[in-house]
Amino acid sequence: MAQFTLVSGSVGLITLQNPPVNALSAATRQGIVDMMNKALNDPEVKSVVVCGQNRIFCGGADIKEFGTKISGPPLIPTIHTIEATNKPVVAAIEGSALGGGLELALGCHYRIAHSKARLGLPEVTLGLLPAIGGSQRLPRLIGVPAAIELITTGRHITAAEALQLGLVDHVTRSSTVDEAIKFAQSVEGKSLDSRRISNYPCPHLPDLDAVFEGVMQEVRQKAHGAIAPIACVQAVRAAATLPYLEGMEIERQLMETLFTSSQARALQYTFFAQRAVSRWSMPSGARWDTSMPKPVHKAAVIGLGTMGRGITVALAQAGLSVVAVETQEKQLKEAKLVVSGILERAAQRRGMAPTLAKITYSHDIRAVADVDLVIEAVFEDEALKEKVFQQLSAVCKPGTFLCTNTSSLDVDHLASLTHNPELVVGMHFFAPAHVMKLLEVVYGSKSSPEALATVMQLGKRMGKVSVAVGNCWGFVGNRMLKPYMEQAFYLLEEGATPELVDQALVEFGFPMGVFRMSDLSGTDVYWKIRKEAEPVGASGQEARVRKGLRYSPLGDLLCEQGRFGQKTGQGWYQYDKPGSRVARPDPWVHNFLEEYRARHGLVARRIDHAEVLERCLYSLINEGFRILEEGIAAGPEDIDMIYVFGYGWPKHRGGPMFYASMVGLAKILERLEHYHRAHPDVPFMQPCSLLRKLVTCGSPPVHKWKDVIKKIHSQL
């Protein structure tokens, strides 16, 4: 797992060998220990270069080993030995030096990086902190403010930024290993006293207490309940205030707490789940590794409203030529300005030229005749989308993939209007489409594996976390949102306020609660969807039972008052002016709720945060089980990544299905049964049979659910 070679007569070259990213598994750590001992004890070796196989230095500790019984030697003593030796040790960094990989490099006396290398301490994203001395060495090398920023965000930085910060000594465009070998020879026999980072004093900061107080406040606010960022600040504070060895002891203690935390398990699950969703499969058995995507060089976007503009930016930034079509002249002009502005600002930030020339604008749909793929992003109106699909089917060249950016309409229906339904796929983007990471890719009953493979690959090119799901109302994300929102309305009927419900959800870790979110996206969005799904009757009708089931008309009544949320300055909250982002509790809403309860003879009762969470989240989770049972999502990871990357589900809770497994499936089942007994007219509370089966099977861990589902399907 590590190889030793004597090169240029005096340099011991140690190469980490653990593909694909040379992670520090037990065997790799053992290899490093053995090869380093060999190099340091060999009198012929006067200097050492450490590098990684396959042009990647090291991706850090082996994440697969976390959560298992860890064997093999720890690296801290070896890094101390490296730092203490009188033979110069040079890290030759190509590809990535992340986490434990960078910590190993920080123990070396010199660091030389390739210009394309990326460096960082991303442990915080896995619920951990840099615990092989990284939290103690980095602030000593680059100062407290820069170290805190890197360690608490886990950001990967370029070699150029690393050079600027003083994290690396030299950046090269040629062979990093060759340069490192030459450099190592040039410093053989020279004093290394000034190169041992653990001996450095932490650069002085006036008013340290105030700095850390400010930082802690900021980090807490951004963490939404995650504990690792807080521990990272505490560890850096130890570096800034204590001698190195005492700081190392604090680092160890903090890591001990984090390592076994449920948050670390959730974040590590998310790391692998994010990668697992790219290995999609369809109920037909078609899979990511047996289906060939078609090349897409030129794409078109139809409709340049908010979504269409964002999609155009995302496509251009992915390097595609784009034809952007909008029939209304005024909207087209405005879109051109907005899209160019976004691309110019993004290019400026990256120090690159904007990709404006990649986009051609047209008001004529015939301009898409020669593109490889079209994304329709017109207003969410079925008749309009039907018309566009019929037109596209007539004007596009044979083989063009036709995609619809819909959040709720039937992909199969739109496909049925085209000559080639196998080329039709749903692409559900999230606003703003060039920023949000999630792309729900919806295959219809006729979509070909090739069409799905092409769209999934396009999503990857756009930097999205793309999740393939089957076609049903609301797909996965919005379908699960329905019971969640419904429960929030019922809670208002029973005595809660929007603030109470939102506060419970924010404390859970969501960036905002359901009512604040609804105000932000427009309360009328779901009103329109509700009305389309089931006509709710005349304005002012407020029957609380529809088709024999419980229904809350509260959202409809609010919309009938023209309170469409942030954009109108009034919704579930009040705002200083239309468009303002500062939401304040609104006495009008409280009054509206009291009058509503009085009209219906409802007596308000005290509702606590636990009830809010159980009812909103467990009903959403229950729907997730139904989605799995029906095969709409291939596995729990798909649902979880949709919620983490598209719906603000806190990453440190791993997604709704992972969260369910952490709470315990038996408990979720028991609480759903309890609420269903209390509200038999709410079908979303009726426990899904898959949940019951999983509990009967002993509540297997989340990665085993697919086996149970497969077994159920094979018995059908």
Ligand X SMILES: CCC[C@H](O)CC(=O)SCCNC(=O)CCNC(=O)[C@H](O)C(C)(C)COP(=O)([O-])OP(=O)([O-])OC[C@H]1O[C@@H](n2cnc3c(N)ncnc32)[C@H](O)[C@@H]1OP(=O)([O-])[O-]
Residues that bind ligand X (CB under 6 A): 20-21, 23, 59-64, 96, 98-100, 103, 122-123, 126, 128, 130-132, 134, 272, 275
Q: At what angle do helices 498-508 and 609-630 cross, to 10 degrees?
A: 70
Complex with ligand X: residue 252 or 366, whichever CB lies closer: 252
C-alpha dihedral over 90, 92, 98, 104, to 10 degrees?
Answer: -20
Instruction: For 413-432, give one letter per residue: b (16+ CB within 10 A) or e.
Output: ebbebbebbebbbbbbbbee
Question: Is 123 an active-site residue?
Answer: yes
Separation CA 36–CA 300 (nearest Å): 56
**Alpha helices, DSSP H, located in 242-368:** 244-259, 262-276, 306-317, 329-350
User: What single letter denotes the amino acid at residue 541?
Assistant: Q
Q: How far is the CB of 19 from ligand X (least distance, A)?
A: 8
Q: How far is the CB of 244 from ligand X (least distance, A)?
A: 17
Percentage helix, strand, coil, to 5, in the chain? 55, 15, 35
Complex with ligand X: residue 255 or 501, whichever CB lies closer: 255
Complex with ligand X: residue 65 or 673, whichever CB lies closer: 65
Complex with ligand X: residue 21 or 165, whichever CB lies closer: 21
Question: Is 326 an active-site residue?
Answer: no
Residue 295 per-residue DSSP state = P
Closest to 594 (Cα-Cα) out of 608, 607, 604:
604
Complex with ligand X: residue 236 or 301, whichever CB lies closer: 236
Name, in order, each residue with C-beta under 8 angstroms of 195's C-beta and a sequence gap of 6 or more. 88, 109, 110
Q: How far is the CB of 63 from ligand X (least distance, A)?
A: 4
Q: How far is the CB of 671 from ligand X (least distance, A)?
A: 34
Complex with ligand X: residue 20 or 587, whichever CB lies closer: 20
Complex with ligand X: residue 103 or 493, whichever CB lies closer: 103
Q: How far is the CB of 88 from ligand X (least distance, A)?
A: 24
Exactly one of 123, 499, 611, 614 is catalytic; name it.
123
Residue 302 dihedral angles phi and psi, to the nearest 5°:
-110, 120
Give the position of tokens 């697992």.
276
Q: How far is the CB of 638 from ligand X (least distance, A)?
A: 15
Complex with ligand X: residue 52 or 624, whichever CB lies closer: 52
Name, in order, each residue with C-beta under 8 angstroms of 143's C-beta and a sequence gap of 6 or more. 202, 203, 205
Q: How far is the CB of 501 from ligand X (least distance, A)?
A: 35
Separation CA 609–CA 509 (nearest Å): 13
- Other C-beta atoms closer than 10 Å to the C-beta of 330 total 8
Q: How far is the CB of 150 from ligand X (least distance, A)?
A: 13
Q: How far is the CB of 15 from ligand X (least distance, A)?
A: 17
Q: Largest Cα–Cα distance in the chain?
A: 92
Name, in order, each residue with C-beta under 8 angstroms of 583's C-beta and a sequence gap of 6 or more. 516, 519, 566, 573, 574, 575
Exactly one of 103, 499, 614, 623 is catalytic; name it.
103
Q: How far is the CB of 126 from ligand X (least distance, A)?
A: 5
**Alpha helices, DSSP H, located in 495-606:** 498-508, 514-521, 523-533, 554-560, 587-599
Give the position of tokens 């566009």.
388
| Run of H or E residues at 621 | helix 609-630
Separation CA 658–CA 99 (nearest Å): 25
By beta carbon distance, the residue nearest ligand X is 99
Closest to 151 (Cα-Cα) out of 239, 83, 66, 80:
239
3-state SS of 434-481?
Answer: CCCCEEEEEECCCCCHHHHHHHHHHHHHCCCEEEEEECCCCCCHHHHH
Complex with ligand X: residue 21 or 500, whichever CB lies closer: 21
Complex with ligand X: residue 114 or 530, whichever CB lies closer: 114
Q: How far is the CB of 34 from ligand X (least distance, A)?
A: 19
Residue 300 dihedral angles phi and psi, to the nearest 5°:
-130, 150
Could you please report the per-residue DSSP string of 374-397?
EEE---S-HHHHHHHHHHHHHHSP
Separation CA 333–CA 641 (nearest Å): 36
- Strands 11-16 and 2-7, sheet pairing: antiparallel
Separation CA 317–CA 434 (nearest Å): 9
Please return the burial class of 606, using the count of CB atoms within 10 Å of its CB with bins 0-12, 13-18 and 19+. Answer: exposed
Q: How far is the CB of 442 from ligand X (least distance, A)?
A: 24
CA within 13 Å, CB half, 351: 1
Complex with ligand X: residue 214 or 319, whichever CB lies closer: 319
Question: Which active-site residues does the annotation give?
Answer: 103, 123
